[in-house]
Structure 1
Amino acid sequence: MSQATDMTDQVTEPTEPTGQFVRLRAPHNRVERRAIWWWTTQWLTIAVPVVVAGWIAATTWLDELSYAWLLATALTVVAIAVVLVEPRWSYAVSRWEVTDEAVFTRKGWFLEHWQIAPMSRIQNVESERGPVQRLFGLASVTVTTASSAGAISIDGLDERRARELVDQLTRTTHATPGDAT
């Protein structure tokens, strides 16, 4: 579910038995604060080669293009801004929560992206730890559903919490009636 507005003000359709409306709220849990450094490292692995290539190009074309140094400087400033701002912004807006009924996530930098997966629709739960994630003691949990919207990923979890979450989701989905289709 992708929304550009804050869904805490959205009201869903009436629930079946009581006819009452259900108010959606933001997921409760933050990712680990260490995720800021993980995301910063990821951005640095992209930004540094791009900036270096920009400066090499600027010094190579200096005679042919008089504003090449200006473009390289602008590229450097933008790269520094992204590396410093984006990971902190992602940390500020990323939320997740697991209840007995569903998995909820909210992410997004400019456009908020909400995903909600009912337990009865979950088909697979995975945990992943890349080399940089391991360096920061983090892991990601991916929940695959019977939906064309794709999997739900909770990134930046403490590695122990990720293992516990996989166990919890496995137990809950096995105990939840439904066909996961």
Structure 2
Amino acid sequence: MTRLRPPRHRVEHRAVRWWALQSLALFAPLLAIAIATHVFWEAARPWTLVVAAAAAVLLLVGTIVEPWWRYAVHRWEVTDEAVYGLSGWWVREWRVAPISRIQTVDSVRGPFEQMLGLATLRVTTASSQGAIDIVGLDHEVAAEAAEKLRAVTQRTPGDAT
């Protein structure tokens, strides 16, 4: 029987930059729009200052605090029995998926991940909770893990339902 236990491996250190870039891409435009609105639209100045301050706080937290916090939390492991994942920064999700329940294994690489040589290993199971996403892996490590899962699931009896 597979038991819930802490996964052994940390994600790639470059994931910190990836998470920071995601926050930067989300909150920097909001801050820029708020500042531009404050400068060019005099009637909106009372509320644009509040929006700019909130965007600045979110930008700082999202690019400095969140990435390091997530890096401290995120763990993963693939064994012959199960896939283990621990993720989150505000709400932590700790999941284990027995090999016999795996339906698909995918490697996902967005633009920032490609730029940093990272990938997300997505393991879809017969669970109503959805896929286990192991983010922030070196793209070669993700490919090796996907290949290992393909081989292990091929020789594991069961119908993954």
**TM-score normalised to the size of structure 2?**
0.90
Amino acid at match of 1:133: E
Give 1:172 deviation, angstroms. 0.7
| 2:108 aligned to which of 103, 109, 128 | 128
Alpha-carbon distance in 2 for matches of 1:28, 1:40:
24
What secondary structure is seen at the aligned counterpart in 1 of 2:141? helix
Matches within 5 A, 1:16-165: 24-66=4-46, 68-165=48-145
Structure index of larger Rg: 1
Alpha-carbon distance in 2 for matches of 1:138, 1:74:
30
Amino acid at match of 2:6: A
Q: Percent identity at matched positions?
A: 46
Give 1:63 deviation, angstroms. 4.3
Give 1:33 deviation, angstroms. 0.1
The answer to which of 136-145 and 50-59 deviates more is 50-59
8 A contact 2:108–2:120 mirrored in 1: yes
- CA RMSD in angstroms comes to 1.9
The answer to which of 117-126 and 131-140 deviates more is 131-140
Count of aligned positions = 161
Unaligned runs of 5+ residues in structure 2 are none
